[in-house]
């Protein structure tokens, strides 16, 4: 099965891609992971990507697409794969089509913006590595780490203003992909649930309904 998993930042794509990967034994591919792997392996594309990152610039589409193409051509993907968060735009989707790779399903994980803001802006972390959430996993003493007693802090990426900006970018650049893949007849939408396991059950059920052969693997 060749699957694209899309959704807003904080929707839980990474968690669900891991669940699907474990269930079916196909790799979950995230652009950040393959970028880091290519840089570590010092491949030509990895060196190019590193030069942009070190210059504080975004890695251009052609480099990201080249890395995706290399990964999808590897033996690990011969029985299928999960693309986690790629493509992020119509041009990236068109580049993926140009590779001649047939996608079976595009699953859109739907979570309301305000719920995502609550999830992400409520995170608190400690330099010792411990993590908390003000609503779902609060420390015993507000603002203080249970493990080491240090003051907790909010990562820059979890600041509410940053989260809302990322959501705006998603709606402008990535959400149009729902129409793009909907027109191809391969789009499936799943509403995210409060509990991870409930979302996982809904995801697997939705995929099984679209692709009968998937049901045999459940």
Token pair recorded at residue 25: 């034994």
Catalytic residue (choose from 13, 71, 119, 124):
13
At the topology level, CATH places domain 2-26+79-112+174-215 in: Rossmann fold (3.40.50)
pLDDT at 214: 47
Q: Identify whether 88 is a catalytic site residue.
A: yes
Catalytic residue (choose from 69, 115, 166, 211):
166
pLDDT in tens, the chain (218 residues): 899 999 999 999 999 999 999 988 899 999 888 989 999 999 999 999 999 888 888 889 899 999 999 899 999 999 999 999 899 999 999 999 999 988 999 999 999 999 999 999 999 999 999 999 999 999 999 999 999 999 999 999 899 999 999 999 999 999 999 999 999 999 999 999 988 899 999 998 898 887 654 444 44
Token pair recorded at residue 45: 């594309």
The whole model's pTM is what? 0.85
Q: Rounded to an integer, what distance in angstroms lies between the CA atom of residue 113 and that of residue 203?
A: 20
Q: Identify whether 119 is a catalytic site residue.
A: no
DSSP letter string over 17-84?
A: HHHHHHHHT--EEEHHHHHHHHHHHT-HHHHHHHHHHHTT-PPPHHHHHHHHHHHHTSGGGTT-EEEE
Catalytic residue (choose from 47, 78, 147, 155):
155
Contact 52, 59 (CB under 8 A): yes
Q: Identify whether 164 is a catalytic site residue.
A: no
Contact 57, 30 (CB under 8 A): no
Catalytic residue (choose from 69, 88, 178, 193):
88
């Amino acid at each position: 099965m060749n699957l694209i998993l899309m959704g807003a930042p904080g929707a839980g794509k990474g968690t669900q891609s891991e669940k699907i990967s474990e269930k079916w034994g196909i790799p979950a591919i995230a652009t950040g992971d393959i970028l880091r792997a290519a840089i570590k392996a010092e491949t030509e594309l990895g060196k190019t990507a590193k030069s942009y990152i070190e210059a504080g610039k975004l890695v251009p589409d052609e480099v990201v697409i080249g890395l995706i193409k290399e990964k999808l051509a590897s033996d690990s993907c011969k029985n299928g794969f999960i693309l986690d968060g790629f493509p992020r735009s119509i041009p990236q989707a068109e580049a993926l089509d140009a590779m001649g790779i047939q996608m079976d399903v595009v699953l859109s994980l739907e979570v309301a913006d305000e719920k995502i803001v609550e999830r992400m802006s409520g995170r608190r972390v400690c330099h010792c590595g411990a993590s908390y959430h003000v609503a779902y996993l609060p420390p015993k003493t507000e603002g203080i780490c249970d493990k080491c007693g240090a003051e907790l802090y909010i990562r820059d990426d979890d600041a509410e203003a940053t989260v809302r900006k990322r959501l705006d970018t998603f709606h402008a650049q990535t959400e149009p992909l729902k129409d793009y893949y909907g027109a191809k007849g391969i789009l499936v939408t799943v509403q995210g649930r409060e509990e991870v396991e409930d979302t996982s059950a809904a995801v697997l059920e939705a995929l099984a309904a679209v692709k009968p052969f998937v049901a045999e693997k459940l």
